[in-house]
Amino acid sequence: MSQTAIDLDHLARQTGGDQDLERELLTLFAQQCVRHLRTIHQAEDARSRMDAAHTLKGAARAIGAWQVADAADAIERQLAETNLRGTEAAMDTLALAAAEARAVIARHDCAA
């Protein structure tokens, strides 16, 4: 992929360059990924799944995880349209983007 999983320049602008805050936000995002992905995959009702996708999209945009945000947005739109075709592929895309973002976060924490 040509983009990095997390736009660290965007994150630095969001935090004013405060590296401790960056680490805190990245840690929180990694935790949110796990929680919201679980809801998106396992929730019985579309509304809960849409809410989780929407929340994850916002959190991803805040830290510059653009691929996660785009994939969560696609799932949210598909569920809103009750268009379940393609949702499985979109979920796979989201899971991959989230895994890549979490790998960047793990490396970022190790470099700190």
- CATH number for the domain spanning 42: value is 1.20.120
Cβ atoms of residues 37 and 95 within 8 Å = yes
Establish if 3 belongs to a structural domain.
no
Which structural domain range is residue 66 located in?
8-111
**Structural domain total, the chain:** 1
What are φ and ψ of residue 7, in 5° steps?
-80, 95
Establish if 2 belongs to a structural domain.
no
Position 110 scores a pLDDT of: 53
Establish if 1 belongs to a structural domain.
no
Tokens of 33: 């990924």
Establish if 55 belongs to a structural domain.
yes
Establish if 102 belongs to a structural domain.
yes
Kindly compute the dihedral angle of the four CA atoms of residues 59, 85, 39, 37, in this order, to the nearest 10 degrees. -50
pLDDT, tens digit, for every residue of 36-91? 999 998 988 889 999 999 999 999 999 999 999 999 999 999 888 875 666 788 88
